[in-house]
């Protein structure tokens, strides 16, 4: 999988073989068997190209690593303790990356909540017979935003 992820595009058995042969001697049939096994397990998809196949990763390396971490964490009888132990093993750079990742997820959550609230307001306005944009316009007027028909203060 490492070689397929490194290429980051559909690859042939021959391409993977030539890449591996830079480091060690390996048979074409070995590479072909491994890629076929990865296909059967659902890790790669393949598309026929002439008499050969092109193989492409089904998920990214990051998604695979995340799934492994989630699986290990979920299997713990004490998930909080497992996380504390895991964080304790991290380097300062890894902890910094973790803080950045948490900020990104929190921002995504906040945006999703805002969109859900907006949709709920729109549906409420539609149910009240005010039309699909009424909920937003009414909310804008209440906040006194200019250009929405409200009498509020300008910015």
CB of 40 closer than 8 Å to CB of 82: no
pLDDT digit of tens for each residue in the chain (155 aa)? Answer: 999 999 989 999 999 999 999 999 999 999 999 999 999 999 999 999 999 999 999 999 999 999 998 998 889 999 899 889 988 999 999 999 999 999 999 998 888 888 988 888 888 888 777 655 544 444 444 444 454 444 444 43
pTM: 0.55
pLDDT at 131: 56
pLDDT at 140: 47
d(CA 133, CA 121): 9
pLDDT at 130: 64
pLDDT at 155: 39
pLDDT at 133: 53
Q: Where are the beta strands (DSSP E) in the chain?
A: 44-49, 52-57
Sign of CA dihedral 40, 44, 49, 53: negative
pLDDT at 40: 97
pLDDT at 135: 45
pLDDT at 150: 46
**Which two structure tokens, joined as six digits, stand for 129?**
């017979």
How far lies 60's CA from each of 37, 97, 143, in Å?
A: 18, 18, 44
């Amino acid at each position: 999988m490492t070689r397929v992820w490194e290429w980051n595009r559909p690859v042939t058995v021959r391409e993977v073989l030539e890449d591996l042969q830079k480091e060690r001697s390996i048979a074409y049939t070995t590479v072909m068997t491994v890629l076929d096994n990865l296909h059967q397990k659902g890790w790669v998809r393949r598309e026929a190209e002439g008499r050969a196949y092109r193989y492409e990763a089904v998920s990214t390396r990051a998604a695979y690593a995340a799934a492994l971490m989630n699986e290990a964490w979920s299997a713990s009888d004490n998930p909080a303790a497992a996380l504390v132990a895991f964080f304790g093993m991290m380097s300062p750079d890894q902890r910094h990356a973790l803080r950045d990742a948490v900020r990104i997820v929190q921002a995504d959550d906040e945006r999703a909540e805002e969109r859900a609230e907006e949709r709920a307001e729109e549906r409420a306005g539609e149910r009240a017979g005010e039309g699909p944009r009424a909920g937003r316009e009414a909310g804008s007027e209440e906040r006194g935003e200019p250009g929405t028909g409200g009498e509020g203060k300008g910015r």
